[in-house]
Each structure stands twice: as structure tokens, then as C-alpha cells.
Chain A
Amino acid sequence: MGRVFFYPRKGAPVTERQAKESEGVLHLTGAQMVCESLVREGTDIMFGLPGGAILPLYQTLPEYPQLRHILVRHEQNAGHAADGYARASGKVGVAVATSGPGATNLVTPLATAMMDSVPIVAITGQVPRAAIGRDAFQETDTTGITLPITKHNYLVMDTADIPQIMSEAFHIARTGRPGPVLIDLPRDVLTESDDFDYPEHVDLPSYKPTMEGHGQMIKRAAQLIADSQRPLLMVGHGAIISGAFAEVREIAEKAQIPVITTLLGIGSFSGEHILSMGMPGMHGQAYNNWAIDRADLIIGVGMRFDDRVTGRLSAFAPNAKVIHIDIDPAEVGKNVRVTVPIVGDAKRVLHALEKQVEQVSRPEWMSEIDAMRAEHPLGSGHGSGLRPQHVVRELCDVTDGRAIVVTGVGQHQMWAAQHYVFKEPGSWITSGGLGTMGFEVPAAMGAAFAQPNRPVWSIAGDGGFQMTMSELATIVEHNVPVKFAILNNNNLGLVRQLQDLFYGGSRVASGYSANPDFVKLAEAYGIWAKHVTDEPQVRSAIEEAAAVDGPAIIDFHVEPEENVYPHVPAGESVFEMIESPAGREALSWLT
């Protein structure tokens, strides 16, 4: 079956296919079915690495030149690249791996995508059906392993089921609260042939996400907003996923409600807006936590009152009623008691709610917040060396707050979240829920494939970067113009900070005494790179890197003793918040 069908866009088959259909239904191998399905779902790129069990799929790829395959260096990176691609494009990311170790290498990216509600379809090879359960070479129970870290998964035992399963998988991944879906394909299911009849649309009676909010609840919410003196909007990833940017702004402006954005909600509301407050929680702007403590109404939108946001639940927002808007009913009432629950799509619910809220002004609440902001300013660094905060601010300035910023996990992530002021929605890509170090390299690569015309900056930790830097080779191979700003403190910085603050400064296994010279490493790959040791060099280095046609790496030798402030100790309340190195002394009883 060496035929090639070209589909210029989703759902628009050209004459060859129509001719074929008039002859009757397509008869395809399982591998061809997977490719056909991917094309119909609008997939144009996938990230993967082959092996025996998945090889029939790979050997079929030449028949489908419209499916671009990016060969990675490690399957974990395929998963994170698909994640970065999905977050930057709003489309479903696709990752491919073989059975056994290939599939287990997808565990971390699947869990990452699950926690952050990112639509990914992962396709894995499996041993032939007859070998399943016999501990065959490279057999692993992939659907079993990934059961709790996927939105749904499938082990395909019949070639004829492939079209139905593929269409379901994409539907489940991208609708409702998005998430990763895995499809495990035994090798002989890929090689056998059967009729291919792709479902026009998916109808799963047991899966019908609620999109519209309950009218009665919306009415009650509007009433609560009208009655409130000190309301706050807390906006999360759900607002970005549903594209509720205009709706958030409209309701905030009309009802004069300051907007807090959670770590994953950054970018859902312009950081420059007068009502923008920044991030709450453990490392959020301190005044936000005080504002939450004062608020009489919290409107959570597409967020889940995560423990990093709330701190100790019993002390969270003690004076506030809560309106919680989320598409996932299980999130509503899970962590905090909700006064008005609204299950639905953030964009539609906010649109309906906006019509019912009244135009008001809240001068007292605004001036109270302004006073808190003035009293608890965001620190810009305490150490003597190159300040990482300064690097992020310069980066923001040079890129005019319009770059796509991808981070790893740790101090650099928090500084990026605090100091990069985003002007454009959906430009911030970070592993929030799972907190996956190493995300910064492959996810940035995936984002750059999705948005080739936008600058993509990876703000990296030296720890995380070294976890996944094998992907530099892939980046060079495809001349992906990702720019890396490594905030190199020769430490697992956030761990070192925890040890200093809460373990009496006992620094166990948190220092890297033999990091590579990242500039020489870049040279080995043929990547433009530069060391930066002093603040005056920061800006010009960023400008130079931005001008490079292709990837670039800047190794910023930042002050290793710098800490992220504020720091609400895990499980504590805002009253235990450490706002500066001085606050640490006051808190010595905690250690």
C-alpha cells in the first residue's frame, strides 16, 4: 500500500481520497490508520524515538510527508516537546515511543501534562498481542503504569478499532479539562490490515463536559460581586485554555476587581494592567497574600486552589466567600469550601457573568491594595553578585514582554514568574503542578516549533538544564531558534534555599562543584554562546543572542546565595511568610 494521500487541511480530503472512497472504504494497515487519523486530526508535527515494537509505524511515515517527525534524543523530551508545542499552539501535541523503556520514559511528561491539563496524545508500541503477559522482550504494562497519569488510555487489541480510538483520544485530550491520552499499539495490530472508516464526530455518552454555567449560580455570583466590598479575581490556567482573555479583562474592569494570576494563569491578564496584581502564594508577590487575607470575596477562575496558592487551608482567605468557576466539577469544593460553584467553560461563564455584574468603582479597596503593595514591594535581590532578578528584568525589557518564556523548576522559575511582565496571553510555559525540572529544554524546543515567528526564551536552571540538555542536538539539527538564559548558580538553588531557611543551613547534596563550561558545551554543538558575569554585560548579551539566527545560550553566572522572596513555608499561612533575609531571623523558631 504505497499510496500517498495529501490533505491540505483537516477535514478537507482531496480528489484522490474521494476517488478512493467512491470505490469503497479504505483498506489500510494499522500503521497507516494511525497516520491517516493523525492527518485528519490536524497533526502536523510529532516528537518521538523509534524501537522495534513501534517500527511499523515509523516505516509508514514516508507515505505521509505531511506528518513531520522530530527525532529526539530521549523520549522524556519527546513528551515535554509535545507539551510545549501544545501549550504554545493550543493544539494537541503528539509524542511517539516504543514499548518498554520507550514507554516508561514518557511517564514524567505524561504526569506533567496531566497535572497542568495539557492536551497530548502519546502513541506507544507494544509487544505483539500473543506475547502480552509473558514478560516478552521490552514488554511493560504501559496502560497500567500510565493509568493515574493520563486522562484516559487505550490498549488497542484490534486493528479495526484504531480509527474510533484515535478520534476518541484526540477528542478527550482537547475537550473539557484537557489532558494527556495514551494509545498503546501492539506491533501486530500495526501490521494487520482492516477497513478504515474515520468517525465524523465523537459521541461518548459517558463523557460530556459541561460548557455553560448554571444560570441560577451565575445570578448568585453576580449578587455576591455586587454585595462585595473587597473582591479579588484569582485566574488560572483554565482561563488561558479557554481563551478567556477578553472576558477576564472585561469583568475585572466593569466590576473593578483586582486580578491575581496563579503560576499557570500568568499571561491570562496583561501584567501591565492597572488591576494586575501578579502571583499569589508561596513565592507570589507578598502583598497579594495580604490582599487575599483581607478579601471578602474570591472569584477563582479555572484554577484549583492548589496548596502552593493557599498555604494552610484553615488560614486561607478567612474573610472571604468563594465563587469557583471551573470546567472540572471535581475541582469545585475539593480544597476550599465554595459559596457559589459554577461548573463550565471559563470563557462562557465569564461572558454570561459579565452581563449581570454592575459597573462599580471601589476606591477604598484599591487604595488599600496600593498601600499593601507599597508596604510589601517585590525585592530585586540582596546578594552582591549578578542578580538573577536583574537578568529576568532585562530580558523582559529587551523582548518588550512579548517573548514566549519557558522555564524549568526552582528559583529561576519563580524569578521569571515574578519579574517578567507579560503583555501577550499564553506566552508563559512552565511545569506548575508536577514541578518537573528539565522541562525548560524540550518544552522550549516544542514551543519554538509551534511558534516559529515568535522569540522563545528558555529561562533555565543549571540543574534542570543538565537533566535534558541532550536535546541541544535536536535543536541544532533543525536550527530551532530557542534562546537559553541559564541562571547558573552552581546549585540546586531552591533546595539550597530550603536547607538554609528550614534546615539550619545544612547544605546536603545541593551544590554542583563541577558544572561543565556551558559555553564550551555549546561550542561542541555548534551553538552560539556567551558567559555573563557582571550586570553591565547582561543587556548586550541578550540583544546579541536575540539577533542570532538559530539557537543561543547565555550562561549567567548569578549570585549563588540569592534567595526567592517571599517564601511562605510549606503548609503555613501568610502570617508565617518570610519576606526578606531579615524575616528569616524572626522565623528561626521554625527550623
Chain B
Amino acid sequence: MADVSLNGHVHTITALVHDRPGVLARVAGLFSRRGFNISSLAVGHSETAGLSRMTFVVEGGDWVVEQVTKQLYKLIDVVRVTNISSESSVVREMALLKVKSNKDNRAEIMQIVDIFRAGIVDVGKDTVIVEVTGDEGKIDALIKLLQPFGVRETMRTGRIAMTRGGVAAGTKQTAVPAAQSAPDTEVVP
């Protein structure tokens, strides 16, 4: 019987949580205490009043994803945990980029921005703010192209994700009570 494995790749996990003080600290504390690596975390209100949805990007193998899921369920404030990476899903991130710019190169910047279907949302004397939405790869690529002009500041939201079709992840219609769902996620060889 072998040791459980740790290596693997990147997973997107969403959690529907009660919107209570301290819930973010509980979740963040869980990740750091158990040594899970989150590369991004985004939080916002869900479609139900009193519930928020968090999206985590977690690095690790199946064991990590399973433990993250189960440990999250142990938090009393967590209603539902969904592993989005295993399903067909839409993944987005938004970024605001403050880029150095002047009269001479503004057109060139706008051309790049257009190709990425991004937009310029503010024009200052010697900077512009670019707004872009897409997956991380697209945002990384845009930043790379804008780098030569000078990217003064970047602000990224972190990944949010949603499964395609059907109903919302973790709404009443699909929700299996927290602990009951666990056997499905257990390792059965």
C-alpha cells in the first residue's frame, strides 16, 4: 500500500459559502495550515442572498484536490464545493493595466488592445488604463506585448469559473448535502 501522491497540476475549485464575517479567514487559514498552494482566489456574491462564491486555483494532484474539497466541507460556513476543472467550463479573469503612453504611441497601443478585444477605459496625460478579460494565457500575452511601452501597474482579479449548461454549481437544485457527497469523491481504486 503506497503513500498518497502529491504531484499533479492546476485545478479550479469553487465554494459556495455563507456570507459571514471571518469566512474568508477560515478558508484562507485552512489553505495555509494544510500546506495547500492557492495561486489565485476570487470572491463575490452569488445568486442567493447571504451566500458568496469563491473560486480557487489550486496546485496539486488528485490527493490535494480531494483533501481541499473535504477540508473545505468541514468548515461549517461552507455549503458546497465543486471541482470545475473536471467539467466543461468557462474560465475568465479580468485585469486592469496601466500602460505608459503618449500621443505618438497611443494608436499603436490601441491596435494591440483591439486585437485582444480589450478596451481602453481611461486616458491620462502620459498613461492609459487597459481593461482586458479572458483566460490567464490571453492576459499574460497582452501584458507581454504591452511591456515594451512600460506597464506601470497591473491589477488582476484572479480566476473565476462556471460550468457550462445545467444549473448553477451548488444551488439548491444540484446540491447534495455536504457530507453525503463525500463518498463520491473518495479514492476508490
Contact with A along B152-189 (1 / 0, CB 8 A): 00000000000000000000000001111011011111
A343 touches B179 (CB 8 A): yes
Partner of A208, one of B25, B26, B180, B188: B180
Beyond A206-B79, A335-B4, A336-B1, whether A155 also contacts B22 by CB under 8 A is: yes
Partner of A206, one of B29, B77, B180: B77
A172 touches B76 (CB 8 A): yes
Contact with A along B57-81 (1 / 0, CB 8 A): 0000001001100110110111100
Q: Which of A317-343 contact B (CB under 8 A)?
A: 317-318, 320-322, 328-330, 332-341, 343
B187 touches A208 (CB 8 A): no
A337 touches B1 (CB 8 A): yes
Q: Report the Cα distance A207→B180, complex, angstroms.
A: 10
Partner of A333, one of B21, B33, B186: B186
Most buried by B among A144, A214, A320, A333: A333
**What residues on A are CB-neighbors of B77 within 8 Å?**
206
Q: Report the Cα distance A337→B109, complex, angstroms.
A: 54
Q: Report the Cα distance A495→B97, complex, angstroms.
A: 57
B179 touches A210 (CB 8 A): yes
B2 interface residue per 8 A CB criterion: yes
**What residues on B are CB-neighbors of A316 within 8 Å?**
1
B104 interface residue per 8 A CB criterion: no
B76 touches A206 (CB 8 A): yes
A329 touches B187 (CB 8 A): no
B76 touches A152 (CB 8 A): yes
A330 touches B73 (CB 8 A): yes
A217 interface residue per 8 A CB criterion: yes
Partner of A322, one of B1, B78, B182: B1
Beyond A147-B29, A155-B22, whether A333 also contacts B178 by CB under 8 A is: no
**What residues on B are CB-neighbors of A207 within 8 Å?**
76, 178
Beyond A172-B76, A210-B180, whether A334 also contacts B33 by CB under 8 A is: no
**What residues on A are CB-neighbors of B2 within 8 Å?**
314, 337
Beyond A144-B25, A329-B182, A339-B189, whether A205 also contacts B79 by CB under 8 A is: yes
Most buried by A among B67, B183, B187: B183
Nearest CB in chain A: distance from B79 CB, A: 4
**What residues on A are CB-neighbors of B188 within 8 Å?**
339-341
A209 interface residue per 8 A CB criterion: yes
**What residues on A are CB-neighbors of B71 within 8 Å?**
330
B3 interface residue per 8 A CB criterion: yes
A332 touches B76 (CB 8 A): no
Contact with A along B1-42 (1 / 0, CB 8 A): 111100000000000001001100110011001000000000
A341 touches B186 (CB 8 A): yes
Nearest chain B residue, comparing its CB with the CB of A332 = B186
Q: Report the Cα distance A155→B26, complex, angstroms.
A: 13
Nearest CB in chain A: distance from B25 CB, A: 6
Q: Report the Cα distance A343→B1, complex, angstroms.
A: 20
Partner of B1, one of A152, A210, A318: A318
**What residues on A are CB-neighbors of B26 within 8 Å?**
147
Q: Report the Cα distance A330→B33, complex, angstroms.
A: 15
Nearest CB in chain A: distance from B24 CB, A: 11
Beyond A329-B182, A333-B4, A335-B4, whether A208 also contacts B70 by CB under 8 A is: no
Q: Report the Cα distance A554→B162, complex, angstroms.
A: 66
Q: Report the Cα distance A206→B177, complex, angstroms.
A: 7
Nearest chain A residue, comparing its CB with the CB of B185 = A329
Q: Which of A195-252 contact B (CB under 8 A)?
A: 204-210, 214, 217
**What residues on A are CB-neighbors of B70 within 8 Å?**
329-330
Q: Report the Cα distance A336→B71, complex, angstroms.
A: 16
Q: Report the Cα distance A338→B74, complex, angstroms.
A: 20
**What residues on A are CB-neighbors of B177 within 8 Å?**
205, 208
B183 touches A341 (CB 8 A): yes
Q: Report the Cα distance A332→B71, complex, angstroms.
A: 11
**What residues on B are CB-neighbors of A339 within 8 Å?**
188-189
A101 interface residue per 8 A CB criterion: no
Nearest chain A residue, comparing its CB with the CB of B4 = A337
**What residues on A are CB-neighbors of B187 within 8 Å?**
333, 337-338, 341
A148 interface residue per 8 A CB criterion: yes
Nearest chain A residue, comparing its CB with the CB of B181 = A329
Most buried by A among B29, B66, B67, B76: B76
Q: Which of A112-150 contact B (CB under 8 A)?
A: 143-144, 147-148
**What residues on A are CB-neighbors of B3 within 8 Å?**
313-314, 337
Q: Report the Cα distance A123→B4, complex, angstroms.
A: 39
**What residues on A are CB-neighbors of B66 within 8 Å?**
333
Nearest CB in chain B: distance from A44 CB, A: 26
Nearest chain B residue, comparing its CB with the CB of A316 = B1
B79 touches A329 (CB 8 A): no
Q: Report the Cα distance A343→B186, complex, angstroms.
A: 10
Most buried by A among B3, B73, B185: B3
Q: Which 7 A-B pairs have the closest CB atoms?
A: A329-B182, A330-B70, A341-B186, A208-B177, A210-B179, A206-B79, A313-B3
> Could you list 14 examples of A-B contacts with CB < 8 Å?
A148-B33, A155-B21, A172-B76, A176-B179, A206-B76, A320-B1, A329-B179, A329-B182, A329-B186, A330-B70, A330-B73, A337-B189, A343-B179, A343-B183
Known: A210-B183, A343-B179. 8 other contacts (CB 8 A): A155-B21, A206-B77, A209-B179, A217-B183, A322-B1, A330-B70, A330-B74, A341-B188
State the B residues within 8 Å of A (CB): 1-4, 18, 21-22, 25-26, 29-30, 33, 63, 66-67, 70-71, 73-74, 76-79, 177-180, 182-183, 185-189
